[in-house]
């Protein structure tokens, strides 16, 4: 009987538990067994393996985080033998790895060393290549949009500029989607170099036209030639520049790790569930060394060398966002 061992690696994201549940339930439905590895790749190296049954995933669908725990531990060549021994000991047919872009590089290394692996894209950053969306992105965007809704009312009441810093690593997906869906008045992302004057002029124009407040969303990974590096983050640096240039009272909100928390949205639950089913179908068919991707409305299986490349934010959409500033 085939045995799947699931592990979550890298940063957690809402929908991880929905994906674990989907893999476990689908696997038992199709006469396979499932194990869980706790603490990501670190758990695989330290032999931290548990049995997962349909009952053990009961009630986890709406929960954020991951019941297996995760870590940013990754594998190098010297640890391959240990992993093979653990897999032999537990009679593991294949690893089912849920993780971020760096995790896809680790999966590539495993596959190159004859360790069968299938993966699901799990990250709020949405920066994994080959898939239109990653599990966790929609929930994080929803959190950002809700935060912007709240910030709007107090910004308007005080005629302030609110700078809101989002997560996203090296990409601006979260800032772009969160900004558009939350009605931002300007969005700043790493993919597009923007002049300070453009932001400042826009804030002035809004004020002159009677809108005395502005919400500026900035992605944490943004670097601009005119923006001083700040130990406390790009949001603080940008807020200072805006306040100095406009003379308007400016406040900064760093949304931080709340973007990674909370119950997954319906969209993330569906994506996680469907990707989990797809992964188990691939195991059943004997397919190995692929990541499940959702592309153009269809589930696909793609290679790790493609998946581990960075997917940068959509510049065309960024330009269109200006319509709503």
Residues assigned a catalytic role: 125
- Residues 86, 88: Cα–Cα separation, whole Å: 5
For residue 241, the minimal CB distance to ligand F6P (Å) is 22
For residue 169, the minimal CB distance to ligand F6P (Å) is 4
- Residues 272, 24: Cα–Cα separation, whole Å: 12
Distances (CA, A) of 62 to 21, 187, 306: 11, 31, 31
Nearer to ligand F6P, 203 or 238 (CB): 238
Q: Residue 167 interacts with ligand F6P (CB under 6 A)?
A: yes
Nearer to ligand F6P, 180 or 234 (CB): 234
Nearer to ligand F6P, 4 or 11 (CB): 11
Nearer to ligand F6P, 26 or 123 (CB): 123
Instruction: Point out which span in 42-50, 113-121, 163-171, 261-269 binds ligand F6P (CB under 6 A).
Output: 163-171
Q: Residue 125 interacts with ligand F6P (CB under 6 A)?
A: yes
Nearer to ligand F6P, 25 or 260 (CB): 260
Instruction: Point out which span in 1-9, 166-174, 199-207, 268-276 binds ligand F6P (CB under 6 A).
Output: 166-174
**The binder of ligand F6P chosen from 123, 126, 131, 250 (CB under 6 A):** 123
Q: How many residues bind ligand F6P (CB under 6 A)?
A: 10
Q: Residue 121 interacts with ligand F6P (CB under 6 A)?
A: no
Q: Residue 133 interacts with ligand F6P (CB under 6 A)?
A: no
Instruction: Point out which span in 150-158, 161-169, 235-243, 302-310 binds ligand F6P (CB under 6 A).
Output: 161-169
Up-side HSE of residue 174: CA atoms within 13 Å toward CB?
Answer: 35
For residue 112, the minimal CB distance to ligand F6P (Å) is 24
For residue 287, the minimal CB distance to ligand F6P (Å) is 27
Give first-to-last CA distance, the chain, whole Å: 57
**The binder of ligand F6P chosen from 100, 108, 133, 191 (CB under 6 A):** 100
Q: Residue 124 interacts with ligand F6P (CB under 6 A)?
A: yes
**The binder of ligand F6P chosen from 14, 15, 39, 169 (CB under 6 A):** 169
- Sequence-ordered list of residues with C-beta below 8 angstroms from that of 157, at least 6 positions apart, any chain: none
Q: Residue 87 interacts with ligand F6P (CB under 6 A)?
A: no
Q: 127 near 190, Cβ under 8 Å?
A: no
Q: 19 near 120, Cβ under 8 Å?
A: yes
Q: Residue 168 interacts with ligand F6P (CB under 6 A)?
A: yes
Q: Residue 321 interacts with ligand F6P (CB under 6 A)?
A: no
Give me the residue whose beta carbon is nearest to ligand F6P: 167
For residue 77, the minimal CB distance to ligand F6P (Å) is 25
For residue 190, the minimal CB distance to ligand F6P (Å) is 12
Contact residues: ligand F6P, CB under 6 A: 11, 100, 123-125, 167-169, 220, 260
């Amino acid at each position: 009987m085939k045995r799947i061992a699931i592990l979550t690696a890298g940063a957690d994201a809402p929908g991880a538990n929905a994906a674990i549940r989907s893999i476990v339930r689908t696997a038992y439905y199709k006469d396979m067994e499932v194990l869980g590895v706790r603490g990501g790749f670190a758990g695989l190296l330290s032999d931290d393996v548990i049995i997962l049954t349909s009952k053990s995933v009961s009630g986890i669908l709406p929960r954020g985080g991951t019941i297996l725990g995760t870590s940013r531990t990754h594998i190098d060549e010297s640890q391959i033998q240990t992993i093979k021994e653990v897999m032999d000991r537990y009679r593991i047919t294949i690893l089912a790895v849920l993780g971020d872009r760096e995790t896809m590089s680790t999966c590539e290394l495993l596959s190159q060393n004859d360790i069968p692996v299938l993966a699901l894209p799990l990250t709020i950053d949405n920066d994994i290549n080959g898939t239109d969306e990653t599990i966790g992105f929609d929930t994080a965007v929803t959190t950002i949009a809700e935060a912007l809704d709240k910030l709007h009312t107090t910004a308007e009441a005080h005629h302030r500029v609110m700078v809101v810093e989002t997560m996203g690593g090296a990409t601006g997906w979260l800032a772009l989607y969160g900004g558009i869906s939350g009605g931002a008045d300007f969005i700043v992302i790493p993919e597009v170099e923007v002049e300070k004057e453009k932001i400042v002029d826009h804030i002035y124009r809004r004020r002159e036209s009677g809108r005395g407040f502005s919400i500026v969303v900035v992605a944490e990974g943004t670097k601009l030639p005119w923006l001083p590096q700040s130990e406390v983050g790009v949001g603080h640096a940008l807020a200072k520049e805006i306040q100095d240039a406009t003379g308007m009272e400016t406040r900064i909100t760093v949304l931080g790790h709340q973007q990674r928390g909370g119950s997954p949205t319906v969209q993330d639950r569906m994506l996680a569930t469907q990707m989990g089913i797809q992964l188990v179908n691939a195991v059943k068919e004997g397919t190995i060394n692929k990541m499940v991707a959702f592309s153009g409305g269809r589930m696909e299986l793609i290679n790790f060398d493609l998946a581990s490349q960075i997917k940068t934010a959509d510049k065309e959409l960024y330009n269109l966002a200006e319509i709503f500033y």
